Structure 1
Amino acid sequence: MALLMALARRPDPVSLSFVAVTFITGMAVALQVPTLSLFLAKEVQVRPFLVGLFYTVNAVVGILISQWLGHRSDRKGDRKQLILRCCLAGVALSLLFAWHRNYWLLVSVGVLLASLASTASPQLFALAREYADRHNKRADMFSSVLRAQFSLAWVIGPPLAFALAIGYGFDVMYLASACAYLLCAVVVWRWLPSIPRPAQDPDQERVSSWRDPAVRALFIASTLMWTCNSMYLINMPLYITRELGLEERLAGLLMGTAAAIEIPFMLLAGYYTARVGKRPMLLVAVGAGLAFYVGLVTLSSQTALLALQLLNAIFVGIVAGIGMSYFQDLMPGRTGVATTLFTNSIRTGSIMAGAIAGGVAEVWNFHGVFIVATGLALAALVACWRVPNV
């Protein structure tokens, strides 16, 4: 009841603007990412190796650019202006993909624009954290509400993306994404606040984030958790159809079910973190994730796979809900870098997942991928024990 009352309080216009920008940027990304491999294969007509190369280059360049901009945004400049430029880069990215089919142009200029556009999300969450701290708002709850908007966008975006691409063509789909980024730019320019950068301790600025054992342990734990999640998303459709002999539509049903029910767990995580702290909540999440992968290894019926999505939703919902603010609490005064570290742990996990899932499935089988994921989830649980509670 207290949670419902907290959510029902009338938000201010600026908070609503943060919610709107988060949802619309999530929609813009959800319109592009699910259909990217199909676009490259059908429209650009490249072989599978070049499709995989695009994903790898995009992930690596995205990590480098977002980390550099994260450090820069904490030292100087207006974070709002950086978000605005990232949204405009998203507009340019969408128009490039709508009108051009040259692979090397897309993998060079396109990847650069995509890396800039993707930086909008961590910078938006960093600005939201600074706004929440300045106005004495519940930062954990506010961050969880914003993360829930991203999940909601991913419930709506992928079906819409496929409907536009199949029914009207990829150019229409990318133009829709361009409109979403343009709308975000307008909202950012008109309603998001400009918050002056606080003076930063020179000694703190020189210290590498990786030298902090708490930050290092949390980054390792977060990377392992997102590696497990990405391995599941990569492997699950093939495991269901090729090894279990179940229908292809079950894969979409499992993804949609998990995405829908993880939203309340994001909100619950933001609410209860203030009572018990982030470390116990994270341990609950990883414990649920470990149980989920053990279930995937031992169970195979359609009913069981659907029931296991509750554990998956607890795992992803809590990690996505409080993971970012955990980094921010461990790195006071470096909100941009902290938020980018969380985002880059997701990207690093995706890179690792692609290599591990493909290699294990090649030499073993798809079921073996879940056995490896179980081991990685256990390693993530160990890493979480080394992170202090905040």
Structure 2
Amino acid sequence: GAPMMAIANGATATTFTFGRLYANAHDIDAGRFNALLRMGVSLAWMIGPALTFVLIAEIGFQKTYFLSAALGLVWLASWYFLVPGGFTAPPKTRKDEPAKRMDWALLLAALSCTMFALANVLFTTAAPLFFIKEAGLPGFTPGMALSIKCFVEILVIFAAVRLAERFGARQVLLVAALLGVFAFGLMAQVTTVVEAAAYAALEGLYYGLFAGIAITYVQSFIPEEPGKATAIYMNSLFLGGMIGGVSMGFIADVFNFQMVVYAAGGVGALAFVVLILTKRTGRRVS
């Protein structure tokens, strides 16, 4: 079943590509439309994990899995009735052109997204064990912190678009990276549930700024190829998640889960450096 789930997850990238193309075709602000789509994803993350554990405890894993499959059928029906059937991407005009050079600015932008995703996965995977085993907090703390983070993230995502319009997407991402370093540094020192809640809100602020504009930022490097840009963006997130999942175990085995949280902050600092390098390429983005 895992490969099928992985293939199905490709719908996310397709949805964001469709969103960009549809916005362009109907004179809709692409950044704000992307933000609305990303808010939907974050809302699902806020509700889904917490609800899943409740359902598993009440009705068991198998019934919960079948319920998830039923939601997939609801998604299929939504696609059939809501997505315009006649909508297609504009045709691409191919010309005899010399081979393109390596687009270092685009690659660095994607690498910064990988760093953000890596930091997020490092902390998310280590947080439950860190909170309970090392910080000595109650068992409900990880779920509470994740819900607070996602709630704040949803509120911030749309605001991030407004900030990017005024100050520029790169500047907002630089601030997000610094907030991530600050949030993880504080989280590594957490001692009470109240502190965990407050720091989770700060984490939601940093990740909401990133999630709200990152895909638009990457797409802006090649606005004429939104499908390619979205694929690069999604792959950068998957790469960060893969590295983070593996790295968390190694770091925790050698040191402890607190060190994983510190490592997440260090990766946030690397994201800041990569964004600075992107600026130094001199590439202007739309």
Q: Which residue of 1 aligns with 2:250?
A: 359
Residues 158-167 or 215-224, more deviating? 158-167
In the TM superposition, residue 179 of structure 1 has moved relative to its aligned partner by: 2.3
Distance 2:154 2:96 in 1: 39
Q: Does residue 169 of structure 2 align to residue 278 of structure 1?
A: yes
TM-score, with length taken from structure 2: 0.90
User: Relative to structure 1, is the Cα distance of residues 220 and 190 closer, same or farther in structure 2, using a 3 angstrom cutoff?
Assistant: same
- Unpaired segments ≥5 residues, structure 1: 1-109
Distance 2:223 2:133 in 1: 48
Contact 1:140 1:271 in 2 (8 A): no
Residues 315-324 or 199-208, more deviating? 199-208
Q: Which amino acid aligns with 1:142?
A: F
Q: Which amino acid aligns with 2:67?
A: A
TM-score, with length taken from structure 1: 0.67
Q: Does residue 83 of structure 2 align to residue 185 of structure 1?
A: no
Decide which of 83, 91, 101 is 1:198's aligned counterpart: 91
* Percent of paired sites with the same residue: 28
In the TM superposition, residue 354 of structure 1 has moved relative to its aligned partner by: 1.9
Q: Does residue 250 of structure 2 align to residue 375 of structure 1?
A: no
Contact 1:293 1:370 in 2 (8 A): yes
After superposition, the C-alpha distances for 1:100-131 in whole angstroms (9 at most, x for unaligned) are: xxxxxxxxxx2332222111111111011111
Q: Which residue of 1 aligns with 2:35?
A: 144
Q: Which amino acid aligns with 1:329?
A: S
Distance 1:202 1:244 in 2: 60
Q: Which amino acid aligns with 1:350?
A: G
Runs in 1 of length 4+ with deviation above 6 angstroms? 203-206
In the TM superposition, residue 237 of structure 1 has moved relative to its aligned partner by: 1.1
In the TM superposition, residue 158 of structure 1 has moved relative to its aligned partner by: 2.0
Distance 1:167 1:298 in 2: 34
User: Relative to structure 1, is the Cα distance of residues 200 and 386 closer, same or farther in structure 2, using a 3 angstrom cutoff?
Assistant: farther
Distance 1:373 1:338 in 2: 26
In the TM superposition, 1:75-224 aligns within 5 A as: 110-193=1-84, 194-201=87-94, 207=100, 211-224=102-115
Aligned length: 279
Distance 1:206 1:171 in 2: 52
Greater relative contact order structure (CA < 8 Å, 6+ sep): 2
Q: Which amino acid aligns with 2:82?
A: W
Q: Which residue of 2 aligns with 1:290?
A: 181
Distance 1:281 1:124 in 2: 24
User: Relative to structure 1, is the Cα distance of residues 381 and 201 closer, same or farther in structure 2, using a 3 angstrom cutoff?
Assistant: farther
Distance 2:256 2:56 in 1: 32
Over aligned residues, Cα RMSD in angstroms? Answer: 2.0
Distance 1:204 1:351 in 2: 36
Distance 2:133 2:216 in 1: 39
In the TM superposition, residue 319 of structure 1 has moved relative to its aligned partner by: 1.1
Q: Does residue 142 of structure 2 align to residue 236 of structure 1?
A: no
In the TM superposition, residue 203 of structure 1 has moved relative to its aligned partner by: 6.4
After superposition, the C-alpha distances for 1:166-192 in whole angstroms (9 at most, x for unaligned) are: 322333222222222222222222331
In the TM superposition, residue 317 of structure 1 has moved relative to its aligned partner by: 0.7
Distance 1:299 1:175 in 2: 38
Distance 1:205 1:355 in 2: 40
Q: Which residue of 1 aligns with 2:198?
A: 307
In the TM superposition, residue 206 of structure 1 has moved relative to its aligned partner by: 6.3
